[in-house]
């Protein structure tokens, strides 16, 4: 099977849906944040503190190039669409799915998620998160083949919708 790539803002469910999809398809999930933490040898928050976001984006691009060679479900990080180079990679992949949700819901999910410290969202106000989110929306849209609204849907329903599309 060709790979399925999940993109979308923080809190969109890329990791959760990716895990479920992989189970359902008896496939493997490749989760960006996990791969990145392994490669940088520290938490993403520490990496941002020490080296800044530009350095992080460079490593993220390398991970994207590596992971698109793999089979399975690829759960990207929310900032993957920021670089034009990455958007072109994504546009050349047949199964890129944008998991979308309304901003209130995304903010709610990010605030509830105590396991992940996200430098661009954790401890930020809803207005600050909105400023990160708004300019990214067209970038997600132009990078994806399919858009799925995840607001008020169960993970199982979202997975089914993806399977109906790919």
Site for ligand S3P contains 72 (CB under 6 A): no
* Nearest residue to 7 via CA among 104, 90, 84, 115: 90
Contact 94, 23 (CB under 8 A): no
Indicate which single residue of 13, 18, 72, 77 sits in contact with ligand S3P (rule: CB under 6 A). Answer: 77
Site for ligand S3P contains 79 (CB under 6 A): yes
**Interacting positions 119-138 with ligand S3P (CB under 6 A):** 119-120
User: 55: annotated binding-site residue?
Assistant: no
Site for ligand S3P contains 44 (CB under 6 A): yes
Q: Give me the least distance between CB of 112 and ligand S3P, in Å please.
A: 13
Helix or strand (DSSP H, E) at 127: helix 126-133
Site for ligand S3P contains 33 (CB under 6 A): yes
CA–CA distance, 144 with 98 (Å, rounded to integer): 6
CA–CA distance, 23 with 73 (Å, rounded to integer): 10
Q: Give me the least distance between CB of 11 and ligand S3P, in Å please.
A: 7
- The end-to-end CA distance of the chain, in Å, is 10
Q: Name which of 61 and 116 has its Cβ closer to ligand S3P.
A: 116
CA–CA distance, 129 with 107 (Å, rounded to integer): 7
Q: Give me the least distance between CB of 116 and ligand S3P, in Å please.
A: 6
User: 33: annotated binding-site residue?
Assistant: yes
**Interacting positions 134-163 with ligand S3P (CB under 6 A):** none
Site for ligand S3P contains 118 (CB under 6 A): yes
Q: Name which of 21 and 120 has its Cβ closer to ligand S3P.
A: 120
* Nearest residue to 81 via CA among 2, 142, 128: 142
Q: What is the largest CA-CA distance in the chain?
A: 43
Which spans of this chain sit near ligand S3P (rule: CB under 6 A)?
10, 14, 33, 44, 77-79, 116, 118-120
């Amino acid at each position: 099977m060709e790979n399925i790539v999940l993109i979308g803002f923080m809190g969109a469910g890329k990791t959760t849906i990716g895990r479920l999809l992989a189970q359902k398809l008896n496939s493997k999930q490749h989760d960006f944040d996990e791969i990145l933490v392994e490669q940088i040898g520290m938490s993403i928050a520490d990496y941002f503190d020490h080296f800044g976001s530009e350095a992080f984006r460079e490593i993220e691009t390398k991970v994207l190039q590596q992971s698109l060679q793999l089979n399975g479900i690829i759960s990207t990080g929310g900032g993957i669409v920021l670089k034009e180079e990455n958007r072109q990679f994504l546009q050349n992949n047949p199964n890129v799915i944008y998991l979308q949700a309304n901003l209130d819901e995304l903010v709610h999910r990010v605030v509830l998620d105590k396991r992940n410290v996200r430098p661009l969202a954790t401890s930020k106000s809803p207005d600050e998160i909105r400023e990160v989110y708004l300019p990214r929306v067209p970038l997600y849209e132009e990078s994806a083949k399919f858009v799925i609204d995840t607001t008020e849907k169960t993970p199982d329903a979202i997975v089914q919708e993806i399977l109906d599309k790919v």
